[in-house]
Amino acid sequence: MLITLGSKGVLWVNESTSQLIKAIKVNAVDTTGAGDSFIGSFAHYYASGDDIPTAIKHANQYAAVTVTRRGTQKSYPTADELSLLVKTSTIFSENQKVSSQINRETTLFITHF
């Protein structure tokens, strides 16, 4: 289960553990749609074959970009844009440690408003 907690990050819970993964700190302009962008990008990366920790890392990066822009869908970066930002921006150099001890499992998505 993933529970988005806004600027606090995301809580990842399953039958054997729970872990709080902190959000990437940015200067937020508009947080409208941030949870949706996180969950949507997590689903994309997970369905594309990433394990849960890696999909969370990518979703955190994606959501961090979206809150630095105004609007909802128009604030969402393209895949190429996100890749470039991750490579060149210092905000992504923070080490997001997420344990990969848990294998792929069915995950329930819950967004906290």
Residues 60-97 pLDDT 10s:
988 888 888 887 777 777 777 777 777 777 666 653 44
pTM of the model: 0.73
Q: Who contacts 49 (Cβ-Cβ below 8 Å, separation ≥6)? A: none
The one catalytic residue among 30, 36, 50, 51:
36
Residue 36 annotated among the catalytic residues of the structure: yes
pLDDT higher than 70, residue 105: no
pLDDT higher than 90, residue 23: no
